[in-house]
Amino acid sequence: MSVAVTVHVVGGKEAVVLLRNISKYLPVTANNKLRKTTNNVMMDLKRNMRMAFTAPRGNLEESVKLKHKGFLNYDITMLDYGKYVDRGTDPHSVSKPYLFKPWQRRTGTMSLSNAIFLVGTRAHPFLHKTRTTDLNRRIGEFNNEFLSELRNKMKGGN
């Protein structure tokens, strides 16, 4: 036994126009706003990284990229060692100490690889700040802008 339900929209011509246009504008508006929001989060991450530590960041800052993975799916990626910069490390041996030689020459510092072996590295929590502060603000902006633009387009605006 099947059941059929008929829905009549009450509320006039404006409600009918809004419902008719929603399927046309919803996907495009959502994708555009999500891309903008993700890009803003990526910029916040880079800014927080610069503020968290002034030491040479090597390729870490340049490695932060926005990757489009499909409809409504964006990733922010960076080199793996970013998480260790964010959290810090316990004392450990450095597998490639020769990478620190140019930095040592520029700064006149003793062996950084020895310092890491003895005391580890200090945490520079740029990921945490981005996740707890900036991300919440950006989600709020997304919600406001998305709903505002969707309403505008559904009413016949551009």
- pLDDT digits over 102-153, tens only? 766 766 666 666 777 777 778 888 888 898 889 889 988 988 888 888 778 7
Of 140, 76, 89, whose CA–CA distance to 117 is shortest?
89
- pLDDT band, residue 39 (cuts 50/70/90): very high
Both structure tokens of 85: 């910069």
Whether residue 78 is predicted with pLDDT greater than 80 in this model: the reply is: yes
Q: Does 96 map to a domain? A: no
Residue 118 CB contacts under 8 Å (≥ 6 apart), including other chains: 91
- Total tally of structural domains belonging to the chain: 1
Q: Does 7 map to a domain? A: no
Q: Does 97 map to a domain? A: no
Q: Does 112 map to a domain? A: no
Q: Which of 18-27, 33-42, 143-152 has the highest mean pLDDT?
A: 33-42
Q: Does 125 map to a domain? A: no
Q: Does 23 map to a domain? A: yes
d(CA 47, CA 157): 35
* Domain around 53: 13-80+131-154
- Given a contact cutoff of 8 angstroms between Cβ atoms, the answer to whether 112 and 100 are in contact is yes
Q: Does 85 map to a domain? A: no
Q: Is the pTM of this model over 0.75?
A: no
Q: Does 105 map to a domain? A: no
Rounded to whole angstroms, what are the CA distances from 8 to 15, 16, 39, 76?
11, 10, 41, 44
